Amino acid sequence: MSIVELKNVEKRFGPLTVLHDVSLDIQPGEIVSVLGRSGSGKSTMLRCINGLEAIQSGSVVVDGITVNDPKTDLRKLRQQVGMVFQSYNLFPHLTVGQNITLAPKLVLGLPKDELRTLAEEALRRVGLEDKLDHLPRQLSGGQQQRVAIARSLAMKPKVMLFDEVTSALDPELTGEVLKVLEDVAAAGMTMILVTHEIGFAKRFGTRVVFMHKGKLWEDGPAKAVLSDPKTPELSSFLSAVLH
């Protein structure tokens, strides 16, 4: 049974078609790396999966919930689907612990002591348990991104979406964040990552999807797709990224 299923999805911004007839089936526990040039529709696809963008036709189903059904409670859906963005989106006036527990407090109504335990546990998973009472400005970019990941993990989602989470970081901080992603992957989380980190895709990805001009151009096991591209578009993309 698929945990994420896109069927013939069309997404337009005015006259511009950004996703064209996109169909994708993702099984629980898969780690899917989504590759492609800027403007190929990668981030838009992620935003459609968690209901941040409405689609014009087709369907998006996550864990049995039809995302594009007007009756769907998107707040409830987003408890199942964590999303981490390129910009960390932490609230600057809240401590790390408060940032992490804001959603569990509002949505789940957990008591104070449980919230603190939840925050500590989430921070332990990203190697930042000593930063609970810090403010975001006291952290490096890599640490802020790890807090953003911890914030998503605290809701215990079934699927995690990552949108270019390392692209604003220098190589050393990128390594920190990739280590956290590896640990989350090893724990069995279903993950969909828009990324340029080909090494990560090869080592930890179960699958690679290559998007081009709003369509799924290639899709298959990570090592096979990356070692032996079937289309000139993916070949030239990989040579541009790897050199």
pLDDT (tens digit per residue) in 195-214: 988 888 888 889 999 999 99
Instruction: Please answer whether residues 168 and 141 qualify as being in contact, where contact means their C-beta atoms are separated by less than 8 angstroms.
Output: yes
Identify the pLDDT of residue 231. 95
pLDDT (tens digit per residue) in 169-186: 888 888 888 888 889 888
Average pLDDT of the chain to the nearest whole number: 92
Q: Average pLDDT in the 122-135 region?
A: 94
Confidence check: pLDDT of 16 > 80: yes
Instruction: Please answer whether residues 147 and 95 qualify as being in contact, where contact means their C-beta atoms are separated by less than 8 angstroms.
Output: no
Instruction: Please answer whether residues 124 and 53 qualify as being in contact, where contact means their C-beta atoms are separated by less than 8 angstroms.
Output: no
Q: Is 122 helix (H, G, I), strand (E, B) or coil?
A: helix
Identify the pLDDT of residue 140. 92
Task: Please list the residues that pair with 28 across neighbouring strands.
Answer: none
Domain coordinates in residue numbering, the chain: 4-242
Q: Average pLDDT in the 152-175 region?
A: 89
Q: Average pLDDT in the 103-119 region?
A: 88
When pLDDT is cut at 50, 70 and 90, the band that residue 224 belongs to is: very high
Q: What token pair was written down for 9?
A: 């999805």
When pLDDT is cut at 50, 70 and 90, the band that residue 168 belongs to is: confident
Helix-strand-coil percent breakdown of the chain, rounded to 5?
40, 25, 35
When pLDDT is cut at 50, 70 and 90, the band that residue 243 belongs to is: low
Q: Average pLDDT in the 77-102 region?
A: 91
CATH architecture of 4-242: 3-Layer(aba) Sandwich (3.40)
pLDDT (tens digit per residue) in 140-150: 999 999 999 99
Calpha distance 23→135 (Å, rounded)? 41
Calpha distance 19→152 (Å, rounded)? 26
In 81-213, which ranges are continuous DSSP H helix? 96-103, 112-125, 141-153, 171-186, 198-204
Q: Is 158 helix (H, G, I), strand (E, B) or coil?
A: coil
Q: What is the dihedral of CA 216, 220, 225, 228, to 10 degrees?
A: -110
What is residue 181's DSSP assignment?
A: H
pTM of the model as a whole? 0.93
